[in-house]
Structure 1
Amino acid sequence: MATLLLPGEVIVILQPAGLTQYKGAYCPPGVPFSEVRRGPMDGHADWTVVPDKDGAFPKVMSFAGGRFAYEYDGRDKQGRAVYRYAPRLSPAHEGIMNGVAEVYAERALNQAKEQGR
């Protein structure tokens, strides 16, 4: 299905964090740091953005009432504006990571129980 764009609009694609975005982000003990890269809206291409008069794109886009932030990271081969998950700028990130830590802890506990049989 073709997307109809208004003049000047560019499709936005949301991607996992790159090193710039996740360096120094919160990661609880027991969780692989690779989990920090994953944003809750990665892969979505449902939004558009209009560059300003100088051709610059907004540096940050936020979603879910400001709970999740994505930083502008250039354009891809299809000409879409690439925004990467920015955990350090996302107020909900720490809570999400604590939930991920619970899942990892539960998995480790279950594996220990299985090995103890």
Structure 2
Amino acid sequence: MATLLRGEIRAVLQPAGNSQYQGAYCPPGVPFKEVRRGPFDGKTDIAVRVGIDGEVPKLMTFSGGQVVYEYDGRDKQGRAVYRYAPKLSSSHRDVMNGVAEVYAEHALNKAKEGR
């Protein structure tokens, strides 16, 4: 676990909620549930600094700003919860196209086995 400095609280990264993934890009053949998944979901060794107004940052970015997580309140342990924000993540379309390729390859292999 990360050591907390003065003014910091623990944070956790979670899959996108309804408000984050509504209207996000999803290629044909890919279940919409895949849109919710962020590359850093489940990460708990993160700390965020509370501002002088008592608020945490609204957005958290990774990979040079290509992956964005959006603040979504606190959990029962008092951690700041950040949810994957596919509509704000510039890498989302490329990742989803890669997921579509995997789904298409799987469908092709399944079809070949069925012959």
- TM norm structure 2: 0.96
Give the partner amino acid of 2:78.
G
Matches within 5 A, 1:36-75: 36-75=35-74
Show the counterpart of 1:87.
86
Give the partner amino acid of 1:115.
G
Distance 1:21 1:34 in 2: 12
What runs of 5+ residues in structure 1 fail to find an aligned partner? none
What runs of 5+ residues in structure 2 fail to find an aligned partner? none
Distance 1:65 1:17 in 2: 20
Matches within 5 A, 1:1-117: 3-116=2-115
Alpha-carbon offset, residue 18 of structure 1: 0.3
Helix, strand or coil at the partner of 2:87: helix
Q: How many residues were matched structurally?
A: 115
* Matched-pair identity in %: 66
- TM norm structure 1: 0.94
Distance 1:92 1:77 in 2: 31
Q: Runs (4+) of structure 1 moved beyond 6 Å?
A: none
